[in-house]
Amino acid sequence: MWNYRLYLLHGQSKYIDVLERILYNGFLSGVSLEGDKFFYPNPLESKGGYQRKPWFDCACCPTNVVRFLPSIPGYIYAIKKNDLYVNLFIGSTVSFKMKEFEAELKQETNYPWDGKIKLTVHSREEQNFRLFVRIPGWAMNQVVPSDLYIFSDNKSIKPVSIKVNNKKVNYDTREGYAIIDRVWRNNDEVVIDIPMEVRRVAANEKVEADRGYEAYQRGPVVYCLEAVDNYGNALNAVVTDKNKIGYSFMPELLKGVGVLQFMGQQVWKDEKSLTEEVKITKLMAIPYYAWAHRGDGSMTVWIPGEKTILKK
C-alpha cells in the first residue's frame, strides 16, 4: 500500500516492483490456499512447527488480508492524462475514459507461471493514446530497486519482446515502462513476451546470516525447499549443479504450482556415532507462498552453496 502511493506520486515502476514481489511472496504466504487460515510471521527458514491459524486474539494481519485482496484490481492499471499504464499482469478487463472518449482493454495471461501477456483494445472509434507497459525489474537483471539482493548467476538477460498485431515493435522506455504511442483501432492486439528463467539470488555481503547462501527465483516468484519434498529434511541440503535447473508446472500439486528440480547433496548425521553421511539426491523447490500446507516440517529459502557451510 505504501509503495502503491509512492508510485502514484512519482510514476516509477520500481514501486510496483516492490508491490509485486510482496504480492506473490511475503503477503501471499500469510494466507492459506483456502483463504481461511493465516500466518503472523513469514520466516525464510523454519525447523518445523509452523502452522497457519484460523484467527488470533490480536487480529490485525488477517483483517489487512481482507482489506488488501479486494483492492488488488485497483493496482493493475492507472491513468494519467492520455496515458494508460499496465502495472500488474493479471487476467482482467478494464473500461477507461480519457478526455472525450471511452475504450476497453482486455488482458489475458497465465502469469506468473508464463511471461506472455496479451492485451486487446476495444474501441468504437480510432483513438490516439499512449500505452505504458511495466517491464519488471527482475526482467532487467535487478532483483529489487536497491543493493539488498543481486542475481548471482551472471546470466545475460534476454530482452522483452513486444508485438502489435503480430508485428514486432521497437519501444522506448521511461521510468521502467515500455511506451507504445499509436492510433489504436478496435481489436488491436499487443503481445508482451517476458522471458522467464530460473535465477540465483544472493544477499548483500553485509547480511551476515546469508553469506555463502543463495535463493532461487523464477519471474516474480521466490522458491523454497520444504521437508516433505526432500526426504524429510530441508535444512541439510546443498545444490551441486547450479547450471542445470529444471522447471515444470504441476497442476495437481498445491492447487497448481511451478516447481524447480536440481541435483544436490544431503548431509545426514547419526546422532549416536556423530558421523556424517553425504547422499547424492534430487532436490525439489516449491513457491515460498505455498509452504506449510502439507505438514509442519522444516523449510528454507536460503540454500548453502557448499557442504562445508551447512550450519543447520
Q: Is residue 123 part of a domain?
A: yes
Alpha helices, H only, 11-162? 13-21, 60-68, 73-76
Q: Are residues 172 and 203 in the same domain?
A: no
11, 80 contact by CB (below 8 A): yes
Q: Are residues 184 and 208 in the same domain?
A: no
Q: Are residues 204 and 189 in the same domain?
A: no
Is residue 227 scored above 70 in pLDDT? yes
Domain count, the chain: 2
CATH number at residue 138: 2.60.420
Output phi, psi for 170, to 5 deg: -90, 135
DSSP assigned state of 310: -
Is residue 311 scored above 80 in pLDDT? no
* pLDDT tens digits for range 4-18: 999 999 999 999 999
Nearest Cα residue to 216 out of 153, 159, 264: 153
Q: Are residues 295 and 241 in the same domain?
A: yes
Residue 58: the pLDDT is 84
**Three-state SS at 151:** strand
**Three-state SS at 129:** strand
Q: Which of 164, 193, 222 is the last residue of a domain?
A: 193
Whether the pTM exceeds 0.85: the reply is yes
Q: Is residue 91 part of a domain?
A: yes
Q: Are residues 189 and 89 in the same domain?
A: yes
Q: Are residues 188 and 103 in the same domain?
A: yes
Q: Are residues 86 and 135 in the same domain?
A: yes
Q: Which domain holds residue 240?
A: 198-309
What percent of the chain has pLDDT above 90? 82
Q: Are residues 151 and 237 in the same domain?
A: no
Q: Are residues 135 and 160 in the same domain?
A: yes
Residue 8: the pLDDT is 96
Q: At what angle do helices 2-10 and 13-21 cross, to 10 degrees?
A: 160
Which is more confident, 63 or 185? 185
45, 302 contact by CB (below 8 A): yes
Q: Are residues 123 and 162 in the same domain?
A: yes
Amino acid (one-letter) located at 69: L
Banded model confidence at residue 312, pLDDT cuts 50, 70, 90: very low
Residues 34-61 have a mean pLDDT of 89
Residue 99: the pLDDT is 78
* pLDDT tens digits for range 263-289: 999 999 887 777 889 999 999 999 999
Residue 57: the pLDDT is 84
Q: Is residue 15 part of a domain?
A: no
Q: Which of 193, 215, 244 is the last residue of a domain?
A: 193
Q: Which of 175, 193, 211 is the last residue of a domain?
A: 193
Q: Are residues 94 and 127 in the same domain?
A: yes
- In DSSP terms, which residues pair with 264 in a beta bridge? 239, 281
